[in-house]
Structure 1
């Protein structure tokens, strides 16, 4: 895939997230997708779908804004802002995040990220 196609794949991820389109996850993530920064997340689209569903339940109005997008070869780096309100406490939440995606064979294969958690740890 070209760098432009890799960027489009990552942009499709954020569009799907903001539109709550969990079905699109199958088109974006490889079956072997690994989130290297979240080792407890299940491999593949199912792990992503489960994580997104948890976020939607905890922060129903969560939106992600793309601040920067840079790509070279099979890597796409994106800086985003996440904003919303916790359903239970009504407390506003914000975080900035940087993610590095490995895109290959038309799908996102892996991810590394920096930016902290949105959901409180037990």
Structure 2
């Protein structure tokens, strides 16, 4: 498989993962493409279990949350994704959104092994989830 094919495969894995994230009936599958030994950087979570707990909190606060990949750029085993998201906050009934988030992923053996969240993105999400 060429490097371009591998890069395309990684982007496709992320797109499919976001589809699961956006579907309340499939959210339990969202993190299936992540390594058990996931390394997180810039997030308020340490490892896969804490990341899963974080998303459970987010989905409870914003049950109709929808993430849109605005742009994905791949280079070798890494993919950078710029995204936005929107939904309705369950506690307030207000529409909430994040206009621009950025996360960088590194793949290993077809799984997401490492993930960096851009500075400020995690805080912005936390501020929206916990108004």
Under TM normalisation by the shorter chain, which class is it?
A: 0.7 to 0.9
Q: How has the CA–CA distance of structure 1 residues 67 and 58 changed in structure 2, closer, same or farther, with 3 Å as cutoff?
A: same
Q: Secondary structure at the match of 1:89?
A: coil
TM-score (norm: length of structure 1):
0.86
Corresponding residue for residue 90 of structure 1: 93
Per-residue deviation, 1:86: 1.1
Task: Give 4+ residue runs of structure 1 displaced > 4 Å after superposition.
Answer: none
Corresponding residue for residue 33 of structure 1: 38
Q: Secondary structure at the match of 2:58?
A: helix
Unaligned runs of 5+ in 1: none
Q: How many residues align?
A: 120
Q: Secondary structure at the match of 2:126?
A: coil
Alignment RMSD: 2.0
Cα separation, 2, equivalents of 1:25 and 1:88? 24
